[in-house]
Structure 1
């Protein structure tokens, strides 16, 4: 028998609870346990006027942003619409059935103002990270690091040649931010090479073709993670240059040590972090084992002996060539003081039967040795050990986080412009990923049977 037609009937009172209608296994219910914004008002109080109309609750805006980045809602306009209609979103935002959702323009006003002035999104990220530490998800012994390119909100069709620079009449918030980071080692000072093209819309974004396809403007998001449960312990935006990623790595390690007293025993990374200077900084200054492949271009391809064919004697501080002759150093430093030269005797080389395979075009053989060669040797030995091979497998967890960031959270292209916009988006995305990890690894306590 067909059921009766549903006819809308107005009633005076409803017995309705949002909490009952949010499923027990809903993502936001699992996340809500770890969102503590109790100190938010106190931190923001100095940035509000004592008079005037009451403002939108900052905790409401933070909860809405958490929903947006946890659920992959990239548009703030659409986020406001979804919060208005979705019961679970209303429950998470403490809006009830009749609470008013703020206009999308409110986020822009606060983001460019008081949120950045008090570094609120950084504080939010650190609050969630502190909760991860308290829950025992951060071991603090093994860290891994990597960076990934994120497309900027800049069109390839409106770019100008880098040699010409920006047009004189170009001025916007993104341009002002670009001018402030020209001397920053993570942005403008990362390299002296001028980019092929510059975007007037977002000049801090770097023109790159690193992925092999058509070139585009991009930023790099850098993650420092704990390898136990892939918790993000720090995040930093940089321009899309490898030198800038190394600078970000140093900043994140030092900041993590200072703010959370996390002193890792090892750091895993790819060859991009395997320069002698970086390895020397890890070993000699920080006491961290480098589980990183060494960046080495000493292997020759012309058939002559490479540097690896020469044996170094640590006690005598000399090299021995394949013929058993000694190469000594007078302490001469080259390459801005980063390399020490060891020279063979011209008399030995003239009479050597292996000269044609060693130095056919020079009177005597020279062997350069980096002042960080001890750290490089340590990295080579570690990488051949069982611990080093394990660290390289664990390093893949960073790449999995980047895949999750782009495929699930839909942050494959930035919505905000400028270094500050990239920083805001990366902090919110890292916060969302840590919250989702907390919700996944720590189940909701089940009520005890009566």
Structure 2
């Protein structure tokens, strides 16, 4: 028979425990096992007054922020609503059933003050990374580096022409951060090229069409990943410019070595990291094998001889052309020897004799429009040759396949972490979002791969 109608009746007393209502296999339980915030309060203590009304627990706010990134909740207003009604979220944030949830405006107040000044988000990322190292998830032998475009939180149709400049009456926190980073090689000083448009709400975001489609304002998030189990070992925000991204790779390699003593045997990347400067830095200064395609534009397409057709003799330091003639750096003795033959762009010019070229039968295929042939060689050409030799090995093919792990992390970042578009503005906002997102990705990996110890 049909049972009686269910009518809600308020009881006078309840015996309730949130711990019993959260399933043992809930993903947040695995994340909570590796989230240690015991060092947060001492780090933030100088930012709080010794008297006055007690503040909201900073550990609570950081737990809520991490929860938003782990669950892909972009809005802090919605995050507060979800924590208010979801028992698992309350349990993760250490809130009892009757405890109030902080107002969403509290996050902005602390973000622009205590959190950014103390560097708590970088500290949190490194704490979780140290946990990954302790659990054996970081091999430290092979690192992969890559960058991904994240559209800025700016109207793409309301950019100001860079020739006109920003309005003089414009004032904002994002503008102040933009002015602070004009001399930073990862932002304003990354290139002398002036973008076509500047966003008035986020001037540090770069107008770019690097993805091949319509141009838009964007930042680049740079990941350095240990390729064994795809753990993020460092993260850095830059503008989407190749020199800025290669600079971020250098900074991340040095920072990981200084903080954790990790130095990879090889670095895996795409052609964007194959310039002569970065290859020379990796091979000559850091002794890291570059599993990177060489950025080379010496190949000619007009039917004339390319630089590869000339043989280089490292002992004599000269080239030999297909006709058997030599190309020298200098063909006469100077009374006052020249200090260097290297140009400002880091290239050495090897010249053939005009007399040899005039009577050569191969001049039409070598230098038909020039009196004599010249060959340019980078000062880091030896490092480029090492990268070319590595590309011919089977180890490079393995690295080529492993590089997809970095791209998968970017896909995970945009689909599950919810960072398909920037939510905050300015370089500091980008730094906060990228660090919290990378921390959330490492926490999720820890919870997935490290089993919970069996209690006896």
| TMscore range, shorter length | over 0.9
Give me the whole-angstrom Cα distance separating, in 2, the residues matched to 1:13 and 1:128: 41
In structure 2, C-alpha distance between the alignment counterparts of 1:366 and 1:377, rounded to whole Å? 20
Asked whether 1:229 is paired with 2:229, we answer yes
Q: Distance in 1 between matches of 2:84 and 2:169?
A: 41
The residue that corresponds to 1:433 in the other structure is 441
SS in 1 for 2:220: strand
| 1:158 Cα deviation from its structure 2 partner | 2.0
Cα distance in 1 between the residues matched to 2:47 and 2:345: 49
Q: Residues of 2 paired with 1:344 and 1:325: CA distance?
A: 8
* Mapped partners of 1:207, 1:225: distance in 2: 27
> Deviations for 1:94-143, whole angstroms, at most 9, x for unmatched residues?
10211111000000000000001100111010100010010010111100
Question: Distance in 1 between the 2:183 and 2:366 partners?
Answer: 44
Which of 401, 410, 421 does residue 429 from structure 2 map onto?
421
Q: How does 1:99-114 map to 2 (within 5 A)?
A: 99-114=99-114
- Picking from 339, 354, 362, the partner of 2:362 is 354
* Alpha-carbon separation, structure 1, partners of 2:448 and 2:343: 50
SS in 2 for 1:333: coil
- In structure 2, the residue matched to 1:410 is 418
- What residue number does 1:46 align with? 46
Q: How far apart are the structure 2 equivalents of 1:414 and 1:397?
A: 23
Aligned match of 2:398: 390
Equivalent residue, structure 2, for 1:18: 18
Matched, 1:380 2:406: no
User: Aligned ranges for residues 125-204 of structure 1 at < 5 Å?
Assistant: 125-204=125-204
Residues of 1 paired with 2:171 and 2:347: CA distance?
Answer: 44
Look up the SS of the partner of 2:150 in the other structure: strand
CA drift of 1:321 comes to: 1.2
Contact 2:329 2:341 in 1 (8 A): no
CA deviations on 1:43-82 (whole Å, 9 max, x unpaired) are 1111100111110000001111111000000000000000
Q: Secondary structure at the match of 1:259?
A: helix
How far 1:444 sits from its partner (Å)?
A: 2.2
CA distances 1:370-427 after superposition (whole Å, capped 9, x unpaired) = 0000000000111111111111211111111000101111101011000000100000
What SS is found at the alignment partner of 1:246?
helix
- Secondary structure of the residue aligned to 2:243 is helix
SS class of match (2:218): strand
Check the 8 A contact 2:178/2:427 in 1, yes or no. yes
Match for residue 348 of structure 2? 340
State how 1:300-319 maps to structure 2 within 5 Å: 300-319=300-319
In 1, the alpha carbon distance for the partners of 2:303 and 2:192 equals 34
Q: CA RMSD in A?
A: 1.2
Q: TM-score, normalised by structure 1?
A: 0.98
Q: Give me the whole-angstrom Cα distance separating, in 2, the residues matched to 1:125 and 1:2.
A: 56
Residue in 2 aligned with 1:75?
75
Partner in structure 1 of residue 120 of structure 2: 120
* Alpha-carbon shift at residue 348 of structure 1 (Å): 2.1
2:240 matched residue in structure 1: 240
Question: What is the CA distance between 1:337 and its match in structure 2?
Answer: 5.3
> Per-residue displacement from partner, 1:332-388 (whole Å, max 9, x unpaired)?
635405011111222222222211101111121111100000000000111111111
Distance (Å, rounded) in 2 between the aligned partners of 1:313 and 1:387? 28
SS in 1 for 2:244: helix
Distance 1:199 1:426 in 2: 21
The equivalent of 1:366 in structure 2 is: 374
Aligned residue number for residue 255 of structure 1: 255
Deviation at 1:311?
1.1
In terms of mean alpha carbon deviation, does 267-276 or 346-355 score higher? 346-355
Q: Which moved further from structure 2: 397-406 or 17-26?
A: 17-26
379-388 or 427-436, larger mean C-alpha shift: 379-388
Q: What is the CA–CA distance in structure 2 between the aligned matches of 1:243 and 1:3, rounded to whole Å?
A: 72
Distance 1:99 1:127 in 2: 28
1:18-48 deviations in Å (ceiling 9; x for gaps): 1221112211011110000011111111110
Residues 147 and 223, structure 2, Cα contact 8 Å, conserved in 1: yes
Deviations 1:266-313 (A, max 9, x none): 101011110001100111111111111000000001100000111111
Give the whole-Å Cα distance in 1 for the aligned partners of 2:356 and 2:269. 42
